[in-house]
């Protein structure tokens, strides 16, 4: 089982969106996927999941204190992937959550404010030596600001090759508990999410290899 934590300190950067679209993508690929919503104020992921008709991906409720044991239990139950959504401005709670991640995804909207806020998350991830990947979300295609954001972020860490472009199908799909790839499986957003999942699978694979190497001395 692998655990992905999705965090950025900036509100509205796309954390809950990344969790939702990747969980559905992984689930459609045949994995047993679980979601955990630690955004106790926003509840975006929980609300979306409650509106959703399909059973997969499943959602479990855990406290931060019970997370380690909860993850072990999920693994014993056969879970392949757990995606954890987190609130903004949560760097203190993250000290308990980050160490349990195999990979941290940091969604970033290409705006100067979001880029500035990324520094806090990155400092914390580097201190913990955790593998992470920036994911550009809500990108406006072919704009200088997006290209500049990628260039600026790549000084701090790896940036996912695939961007999630700003498209109306996201909020439209979320309204009834779905994701863009479930609304229009051949649409642009579906294609981007599919490619992003391929990028992330490669990262998870690399992380697993590293962990195996470390375990074997
Ligand atoms: N690629 C996209 N295209 C269009 N709208 C998007 C896209 N990604 C996210 N959104 C919209 O942007 C808003 C913020 O996204 P989301 O809720 O995922 O951010 P968040 O980081 O979880 O926010 P918070 O910090 O409040 O928890 C939502 O209304 C969502 O529907
Ligand atoms: Mg959220």
Q: What is the pLDDT of residues 13-36, one digit of tens each?
A: 999 999 999 999 999 999 999 999
**pLDDT value of position 204:** 94
Give the residue extent of every domain in the chain: 2-215
Nearest-atom index, ligand 1, CA of 12: 23
Percentage of the chain exceeding pLDDT 90: 84
Q: How far apart are CA 167 and CA 151, in angstroms?
A: 23
Residue with tokens 């929980």: 46
Nearest-atom index, ligand 1, CA of 18: 18
Q: How far apart are CA 71 and CA 67, in angstroms?
A: 6
Q: Please tell me whether residue 41 adopts helix, strand or coil conformation.
A: coil
Q: Is 90 in the pocket of ligand 1 (CB under 6 A)?
A: no
Binning pLDDT at 50, 70 and 90, where does residue 89 land?
confident
Give me the mean pLDDT over the 68-85 stretch.
98
DSSP 7: -
Contacts (Cβ under 8 Å, ≥6 apart) of 95: 124
Q: What is the pLDDT of residues 32-63, one digit of tens each?
A: 999 999 998 989 999 999 999 999 999 999 99
Q: What is the pLDDT of residues 120-144, one digit of tens each?
A: 889 989 999 999 999 999 999 888 9
Specify the pTM.
0.97
Give me the mean pLDDT over the 177-205 stretch.
97
The shares of helix, strand and coil residues in the chain, as percent rounded to the nearest 5, are: 50, 15, 35
Nearest-atom index, ligand 1, CA of 87: 27
- The answer to whether residue 86 scores a pLDDT higher than 80 is yes
Closest CA to 170 of 194, 191, 189, 142: 189
Closest CA to 32 of 16, 49, 55: 55
Q: How far apart are CA 78 and CA 139, in angstroms?
A: 36
**pLDDT value of position 120:** 85
> Mean pLDDT, the chain, as a whole number?
95
Q: Is 170 in the pocket of ligand 1 (CB under 6 A)?
A: yes
Q: How far apart are CA 211 and CA 217, in angstroms?
A: 10
What is the CA(58)–ligand 2 centre distance, in A? Answer: 17
Closest CA to 93 of 114, 68, 64: 64
Q: Is 98 in the pocket of ligand 1 (CB under 6 A)?
A: no
**pLDDT value of position 106:** 97
**pLDDT value of position 42:** 87
Burial class (CB in 10 A: 0-12, 13-18, 19+), 217: exposed
Closest CA to 181 of 54, 81, 78: 54
Superfamily of domain 2-215: P-loop containing nucleotide triphosphate hydrolases (3.40.50.300)
CB 146 within 8 A of CB 140: yes
Sign, CA torsion 162/168/169/174: positive
């Amino acid at each position: 089982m692998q655990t992905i934590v999705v965090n950025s300190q900036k509100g509205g950067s796309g954390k809950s969106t990344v969790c939702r679209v990747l969980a559905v993508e992984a689930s459609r690929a045949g994995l047993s996927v679980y979601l955990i919503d630690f955004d106790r104020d926003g509840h975006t992921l929980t609300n979306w999941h409650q509106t959703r008709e399909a059973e997969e991906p499943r959602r479990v409720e855990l406290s931060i204190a019970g997370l380690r044991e909860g993850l072990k239990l999920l693994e014993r139950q056969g879970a392949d992937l757990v995606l954890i959504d987190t609130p903004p401005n949560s760097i203190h709670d993250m000290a308990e959550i980050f160490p349990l991640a195999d990979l941290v995804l940091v969604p970033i909207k290409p705006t100067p404010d979001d880029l500035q806020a990324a520094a806090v998350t990155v400092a914390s991830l580097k201190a913990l030596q955790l593998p992470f990947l920036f994911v550009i979300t809500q990108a406006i295609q072919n704009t200088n600001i997006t290209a500049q954001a990628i260039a600026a972020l790549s000084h701090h860490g790896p940036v996912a090759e695939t961007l999630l472009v700003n498209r109306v199908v996201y909020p439209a799909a979320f309204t009834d508990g779905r994701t863009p790839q479930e609304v229009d499986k051949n649409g642009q957003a579906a294609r981007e999410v599919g490619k992003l999942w391929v990028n992330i699978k490669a990262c998870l694979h690399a992380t697993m290899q590293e962990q195996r190497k470390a375990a074997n001395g």
